[in-house]
């Protein structure tokens, strides 16, 4: 179900002592090829962690042989020493793969640090212990296996209550099957771009870096970028897509995008379901917008309304709060002609009372909000959650 579902990948997850709980905290994913094509998207936050700064430059080659990830400390705003630790981590992985790995090699017979993507998650301002982290990398390398995806997914968890894994299969024009697998972490600060998360997606399709980049950006645009838990943006967001080429399948960009999107959508909804302290997962669908951008803007405005989200927590079908949020946008619509449904009950018709709100049940975790702008043919969905007492508690006590 995870990153090792696709052929050509090994992974591991180990405990290095970065977490005070002793839980697994270092993961390693290795691409044994024959291809090492890769693509990535990163947080749009201008305040970026050291691993994001490193990885964004390294991925310019269009190749990645491995990804090393740690939880416990974000390695963000840790000064020059923090960046040096990121570099040292990448160098160690490259050294280990050059000495004892298999698969593609650079021209000089060795894997270079630039072939290694680095990801970190945890508390900002915390410098991970160098000796513990590098020892964890060595231990993870020793544990690499083609069924190590589940252990890797566990090792990247922070406030997550469960690990997140997904997989999908497709075929190319000749009927050859390829697989896409993935793992993710994230349970709070879920907001564009990408949500506060680390995601590694793998495929055994034989495609180049440009095709991967197109597929990944197409997938994240309609999945992770539309996950908006609390409007707060992280410094460490990273989504990677690696291709081994091991299946021999050569899918079109459309076929690859479909399966990458399926995996990203699955992972995004798992992130939403694990949002810190949430009682409800809310899908906000906007219909008949003039443009897709309008639809996204309206849905996101509702998703970021604390008044709306607390109403859902209180099981109050207060559709007035939805209209109030719609009105703050620049989307094209007639304020006197809007329809709103909650869980299929059209409580607002033509910007006035519709069916009785008493018919709306908000007892189940899943909530659907439908907004009809009556201005065009475009649609979009943004996913969010309610805000609860538990959310306040978890995020006020995060660093204690």
What residues are labeled active site? 196
- How far apart CA 201 and CA 182 sit, in angstroms, is 4
Shortest CA distance to 294 belongs to which of 356, 365, 376? 376
H-run or E-run covering 317: none
The residues with which 38 forms a beta bridge, in sequence order, are 242
The torsion angle over the Cα atoms of residues 83, 234, 379 and 313, rounded to 10 degrees, is 160
Contacts of 126 (CB under 8 A, 6+ apart): 72, 73, 74, 75, 78
Cα 383 vs. chain centroid, distance in angstroms?
13
Q: Looking at 224-316, list the stretches that DSSP marks H as alpha helix, in order from N- to C-terminal side.
A: 253-273, 292-303, 306-313
Beta-carbon-side half-sphere exposure of residue 126 (alpha carbons within 13 Å) = 18
- The structure tokens listed for 331 are 């989307």
The torsion angle over the Cα atoms of residues 221, 30, 38 and 5, rounded to 10 degrees, is -50
Alpha-carbon distance values, 2 to 182, 206, 304 (Å): 5, 19, 31
H-run or E-run covering 72: strand 66-73
CB atoms within 10 A of CB 198: 28
Alpha-carbon distance values, 236 to 55, 101, 245 (Å): 11, 28, 28
CB 240 within 8 A of CB 156: no
- How far apart CA 171 and CA 338 sit, in angstroms, is 43
CB 144 within 8 A of CB 227: no
Exposure string over 210-221, b if 16+ CB within 10 A, otherwise e: ebbbbbbbbbbb
């Amino acid at each position: 179900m995870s990153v090792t579902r696709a052929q050509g990948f090994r992974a591991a997850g180990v405990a290095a002592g970065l977490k005070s709980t002793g839980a697994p905290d270092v993961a390693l994913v290795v691409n044994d090829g024959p291809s090492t094509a890769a693509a990535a998207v990163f947080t749009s936050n201008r305040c970026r962690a050291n691993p994001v700064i490193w990885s964004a430059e390294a991925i310019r080659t269009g190749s990645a042989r491995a990804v090393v990830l740690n939880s416990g400390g974000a390695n963000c705003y840790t000064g020059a020493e923090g960046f040096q630790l990121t570099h040292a981590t990448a160098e160690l992985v490259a050294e280990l793969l050059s000495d004892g790995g298999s698969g593609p090699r650079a021209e000089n017979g060795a894997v270079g640090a630039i072939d290694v993507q680095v990801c970190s998650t945890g508390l900002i301002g915390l410098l991970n212990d160098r000796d513990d982290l590098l020892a964890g990398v060595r231990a993870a390398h020793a544990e690499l296996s083609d069924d190590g995806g589940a252990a890797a997914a566990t090792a990247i968890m922070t406030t997550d209550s469960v690990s997140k894994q997904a997989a999908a299969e497709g075929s190319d024009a000749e009927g050859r099957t390829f697989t896409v697998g993935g793992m993710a972490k994230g349970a709070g600060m879920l907001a564009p771009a990408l949500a506060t998360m680390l995601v590694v997606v793998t495929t055994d399709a034989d495609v180049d870096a440009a095709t991967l980049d197109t597929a990944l950006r197409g997938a994240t645009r309609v999945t992770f970028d539309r996950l908006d838990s609390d409007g707060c943006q992280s410094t460490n967001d990273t989504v990677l897509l690696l291709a081994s080429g091991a299946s021999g399948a050569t899918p079109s960009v459309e076929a690859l995008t479909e399966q990458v999107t399926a995996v990203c959508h699955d992972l995004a909804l798992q992130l939403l379901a694990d949002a810190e302290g949430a009682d409800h997962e809310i899908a906000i669908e906007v219909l008949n917008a003039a443009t897709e951008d309008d639809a996204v803007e309206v849905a996101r405005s509702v998703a970021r309304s604390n008044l709306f989200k607390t109403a859902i927590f209180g099981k109050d079908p207060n559709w007035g709060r939805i209209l109030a949020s719609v009105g703050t946008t620049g989307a094209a619509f007639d304020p006197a002609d809007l329809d709103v449904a909650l869980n299929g009950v059209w409580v607002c018709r033509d910007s006035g009372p519709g069916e009785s709100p008493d018919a709306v049940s908000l007892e189940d975790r899943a909530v659907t909000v439908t907004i009809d702008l009556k201005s065009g043919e475009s649609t979009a969905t943004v996913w969010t959650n309610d805000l609860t007492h538990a959310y306040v508690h978890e995020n006020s006590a995060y660093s204690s």
